């Protein structure tokens, strides 16, 4: 990549702040064109993640990943998501490797693991 | 039977309590060439050991090296093929360290302290194990003392003209196949002969060498009985660059353990050129900016912080010492390359080996003109000091006149004499591989040669004279010259007279 995803994210977020709402679409189009021109379209996923992280940090929010082994009922999902702020970005991920239970990761840094996979691992690793 | 097992399992599950809490975690975002980039874990320490949870359930450890704003560059220490993007990474809150203890002696280990000799577990007595950090600050100025005890290598030219003291850092530098490792090995072998001083624990660190060469070295040490006081840290060419980078630090940490116990240790880094290359590889993969010869900017600090850890400790700190013999391989005798100049400036002197001398049959191929020892003379025994100053002078004069050797017949008698003496001394200083000579024997033969006792012996018979004369002194002569020197480390007037008598008596029968 010509530039690090963090640099793209920071630049985009800073520009977004200075741009009027009516011109935001134009800014996004130009931003994508710039990424293409730099030949960094392959790293677009990283750029999006970095932008998301940067924007949420700026607004005081957090990136919350909620992983479950199977799809949750809407009521259960609402119960869980109601614990977070409005500015938090919540992602729901289905991860069968957890076997059962739930795993919540905040800002990709902190983790609360209530999955069966972890419990089994801990039980069998116990000495 | 099955019922019992099921009941046991039930009881175990019932008794299992688990209360998960928020834990810090990182994610592998990039992996390749033994390097992993990890996001998260913003409070990781430099040199902290991280654990990567792989898909197969196996845990692979990694060393936190680059601490950046949003990510960490980690050097994978285990099987890097198992690591995938998205694997979870956890902190251990432990700085990379190695288990050390007396039981390490005689063993071959890798830089993480894992035995490599197939002799099983190292530490059986758990109470005598310590953990030493691989990276540790060097002893401070206050904790140090000047070098004063000799470390005899058993090589006549080194012990007489480039003496090494315990706690010194003496570089062995030369092209490939000039006998650098042989000098270091002789120094290890000679520690067995060097009685009268506290024994020296030796650590041989093999960096980026062929496995066959390491096996050969271990065999040599075993055959000579030197493994009884030696530890080998092995990071062969087949080991990942991370292991080659860590090996000298592991060897140093082991040496420091013995130094802290008040013992004397000798560590040989064979060789730091390959170490610098391994570090360059890691640094480039970690995307650190390259500098001269593509080495990273901190290549000097890498070696200086390693070699600064060699020290002679003060009485208050237990009087232990760690002597370092780093080895550097030059390309076509170019000592002005980047890494050789760095290490030359860090160490307290160098033993310079030359290919030309090697091919002329001068072995060890030490160039005594270019070799120096900055602090070792303070540690030299009085006996050998007595002969060394004259030896140095005579050899220096010989070097100046060497160009005229071809015209020897046209020269005046004085110059002729000097050339003959120089040739004689060069012959006396030659010695075979793996045959270290104790300092008292070296003193005796050098005394005889610089005082003209060997002038009438034909050159081809010098070696024979030396062997027979030293045998005579040891076994037949009743004057006790060697014993007296061994005990007092001096060549007093009485011993000197005895030595003169012994030489004259021996010459009658030779």
**DSSP of B167-209:** T-B-EEEE-TTSSHHHHHHHHHHHTTT-TTS--EEEEEEEES-
Catalytic site positions of B: 374
Check CB contact of B22 with chain A, cutoff 8 Å. yes
Residue of B39, B57, B84 to mutate, interface with A, max A Cβ within 10 Å: B39
CA-nearest residue to B68 within chain A is A6
> Is the CB of residue B165 less than 8 Å from the CB of residue B376?
yes
Residue scoring higher pLDDT (A107 or B73): B73
**Residue A127 predicted with pLDDT over 70:** no
CA B343 to chain CA mean position, Å: 14
Distances (CA, A) of B411 to B265, B393, B415, B417: 50, 20, 6, 10
Q: Do B23 and A121 touch (CB under 8 A)?
A: no
What number is the average pLDDT over the span A38-51? 87
> Is the CB of residue B438 less than 8 Å from the CB of residue B375?
no
Integer Cα distance of A54 and A9 in angstroms: 7
| The two structure tokens encoding residue B115 | 């035995």
Q: Do A111 and B39 touch (CB under 8 A)?
A: no
> Is the CB of residue B353 less than 8 Å from the CB of residue B174?
yes
**Alpha carbon of A122: minimum distance to chain B alpha carbons (Å):** 9
Integer Cα distance of A59 and A6 in angstroms: 17
Integer Cα distance of B425 and A1 in angstroms: 65
Q: Which of B154, B158, B113, B157 is nearest to B132 (CA)?
A: B113
**Alpha carbon of B39: minimum distance to chain A alpha carbons (Å):** 7
CB contact residues (below 8 A), chain A span 54-83, against chain B: none
Residue scoring higher pLDDT (B184 or B406): B184
| B106 Rama sector, left if φ>0, alpha if ψ -120 to 50, beta otherwise | left
Q: At what angle do helices B439-450 and B493-509 cross, to 10 degrees?
A: 70
Q: At what angle do helices B439-450 and B462-471 cross, to 10 degrees?
A: 130
Mean pLDDT of chain B: 93
**DSSP helix/strand/coil, B166:** coil
Number of H helices, E strands in chain A: 5, 4
Check CB contact of B43 with chain A, cutoff 8 Å. no
Check CB contact of B15 with chain A, cutoff 8 Å. no
**Residue A31 predicted with pLDDT over 50:** yes
> Is the CB of residue B23 less than 8 Å from the CB of residue B93?
no
Q: Which of B466, B477, B420 is nearest to B444 (CA)?
A: B466
At residue B11, the pLDDT reads: 79
Q: At what angle do helices B299-307 and B241-260 cross, to 10 degrees?
A: 30
Q: Which residues of B93-102 are buried (b: 16+ CB within 10 A; e: fewer)?
A: eebbbbbbbe
Over residues A86-120, the pLDDT tens digits come to 888 888 999 998 999 999 998 888 899 989 888 88
Check CB contact of B21 with chain A, cutoff 8 Å. yes
| B125 Rama sector, left if φ>0, alpha if ψ -120 to 50, beta otherwise | beta
User: How do beta strands B26-32 and A89-94 pair?
Assistant: unpaired
Q: Which of B296, B195, B278 is nearest to B240 (CA)?
A: B278
Half-sphere exposure of A103 (CA within 13 A, CB side): 26
At residue B476, the pLDDT reads: 86
Per the document, the length of chain A is 127
Q: At what angle do helices B462-471 and B493-509 cross, to 10 degrees?
A: 120
At residue B408, the pLDDT reads: 64
What number is the average pLDDT over the span B102-127? 92
Over residues B202-217, the pLDDT tens digits come to 999 999 999 999 999 9
Integer Cα distance of A45 and B85 in angstroms: 14
At residue B350, the pLDDT reads: 96
Instruction: Name the pLDDT band for A123 (thresholds 50, 70, 90).
Output: confident
Q: Residue B448: is it exposed, middle or buried by C-beta count within 10 angstroms (0-12/13-18/19+)?
A: buried
B258: CB partners within 8 A, 6+ apart: B201, B264, B265, B320, B322
Residue scoring higher pLDDT (B460 or B249): B249
Over residues B3-62, the pLDDT tens digits come to 888 887 787 777 777 777 888 999 999 999 999 999 989 899 999 999 999 988 889 999
Alpha helix segments (H runs only) across B205-324 = 211-223, 241-260, 272-285, 299-307
Q: Residue B185: is it exposed, middle or buried by C-beta count within 10 angstroms (0-12/13-18/19+)?
A: buried
At residue A126, the pLDDT reads: 54
Integer Cα distance of B510 and B508 in angstroms: 6
**Residue B196 predicted with pLDDT over 90:** no
Over residues B419-464, the pLDDT tens digits come to 889 999 999 999 999 999 999 999 999 999 999 999 999 989 999 9
What number is the average pLDDT over the span A58-85? 88
**DSSP helix/strand/coil, A94:** strand
| The two structure tokens encoding residue B210 | 């062929």
> Is the CB of residue B214 less than 8 Å from the CB of residue B234?
yes
Containing H/E element for A7?
helix A5-18
CB contact residues (below 8 A), chain B span 73-102, against chain A: 88
At residue A72, the pLDDT reads: 86
Residue of B8, B16, B20, B40 to mutate, interface with A, max A Cβ within 10 Å: B20
Over residues B254-297, the pLDDT tens digits come to 999 999 999 999 999 999 999 999 999 999 999 999 999 999 99
CA-nearest residue to A53 within chain B is B70
Instruction: Name the pLDDT band for B344 (thresholds 50, 70, 90).
Output: very high
Q: Which residues of B457-494 are buried (b: 16+ CB within 10 A; e: fewer)?
A: beeeebeebbeebbebbeeebebebbebbbeebbbeee
Q: Do A110 and B25 touch (CB under 8 A)?
A: yes
What number is the average pLDDT over the span B55-79? 92
């Amino acid at each position: 990549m010509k530039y690090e995803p963090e640099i793209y994210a920071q630049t985009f977020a800073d520009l977004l702040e200075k741009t009027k709402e009516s011109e935001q679409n134009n800014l996004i189009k130009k931003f994508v064109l710039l990424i293409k021109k730099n030949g960094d379209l392959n790293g677009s996923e990283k750029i999006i993640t970095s932008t998301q992280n940067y924007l949420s940090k700026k607004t005081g929010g957090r990136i919350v990943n909620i992983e479950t082994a199977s799809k949750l009922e809407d009521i259960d999902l609402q119960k869980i998501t109601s614990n977070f702020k409005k500015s938090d970005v919540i992602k729901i991920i289905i991860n069968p490797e957890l076997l059962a239970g739930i795993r919540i990761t905040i800002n990709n840094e902190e983790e609360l693991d209530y999955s069966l996979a972890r419990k089994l691992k801990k039980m069998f690793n116990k000495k | 039977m099955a019922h019992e097992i099921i009941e046991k399992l039930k009881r175990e599950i019932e008794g299992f309590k688990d209360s998960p809490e928020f834990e810090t975690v990182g994610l592998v975002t990039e992996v390749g060439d033994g390097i992993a980039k990890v996001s998260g874990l913003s409070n990781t320490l430099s040199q902290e050991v991280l654990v990567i949870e792989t898909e197969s359930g196996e845990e692979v450890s990694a060393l936190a090296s680059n601490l950046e704003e949003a990510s960490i560059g980690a050097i994978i220490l285990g099987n890097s093929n198992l690591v995938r993007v998205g694997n979870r990474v956890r902190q251990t809150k432990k700085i990379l360290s190695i288990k050390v203890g007396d039981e390490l002696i005689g063993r071959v280990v890798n830089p993480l302290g894992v035995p490599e000799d197939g002799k099983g577990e190292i530490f059986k007595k758990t109470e005598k194990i310590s953990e030493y950090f691989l990276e540790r600050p060097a002893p401070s100025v206050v904790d140090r003392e000047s070098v004063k005890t000799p470390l005899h290598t058993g090589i006549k030219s080194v012990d007489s003209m480039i003496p090494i003291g315990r706690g010194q850092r003496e570089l062995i530098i030369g092209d490939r196949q000039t006998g650098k490792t042989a000098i270091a090995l002789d120094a290890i072998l000679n520690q067995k002969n060097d009685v009268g001083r506290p024994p020296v624990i030796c650590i041989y660190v093999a960096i980026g060498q062929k496995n066959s060469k390491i096996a050969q070295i271990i065999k040599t040490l075993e055959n000579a009985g030197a493994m009884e006081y030696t530890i080998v840290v092995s990071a062969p060419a087949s080991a990942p660059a991370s292991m080659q980078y860590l090996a000298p630090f592991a060897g140093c940490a082991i040496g420091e353990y013995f130094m802290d116990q008040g013992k004397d240790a000798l560590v040989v880094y064979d060789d730091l050129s390959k170490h610098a290359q391994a570090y360059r590889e890691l640094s480039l993969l970690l995307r650190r900016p390259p500098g001269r010869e593509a080495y990273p900017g901190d290549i000097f600090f890498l070696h200086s912080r390693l070699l600064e850890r060699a020290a002679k400790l003060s009485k208050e700190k237990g009087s232990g010492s760690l002597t370092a013999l780093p080895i550097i391989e030059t390309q076509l005798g170019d000592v002005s390359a980047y890494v050789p100049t760095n290490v030359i400036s860090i160490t307290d002197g160098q033993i310079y080996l030359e290919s030309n001398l090697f091919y002329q049959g001068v072995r060890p191929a030490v160039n005594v003109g270019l070799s120096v020892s900055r602090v070792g003379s303070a540690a030299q025994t009085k006996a050998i000091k007595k002969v060394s100053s004259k030896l140095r002078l005579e050899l220096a004069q010989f070097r100046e006149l060497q160009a005229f050797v071809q015209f020897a017949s046209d020269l005046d008698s004085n110059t002729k004499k000097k050339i003959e003496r120089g040739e004689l001394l060069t012959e006396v200083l030659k010695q075979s591989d793996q045959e270290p000579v104790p300092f008292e024997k070296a003193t005796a033969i050098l005394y005889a040669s610089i005082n003209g006792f060997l002038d009438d012996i034909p050159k081809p018979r010098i070696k024979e004279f030396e062997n027979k004369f030293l045998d005579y002194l040891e076994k037949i002569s009743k004057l006790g010259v060697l014993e007296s020197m061994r005990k007092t480390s001096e060549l007093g007037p009485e011993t000197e007279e005895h030595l003169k008598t012994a030489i004259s008596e021996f010459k009658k029968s030779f």
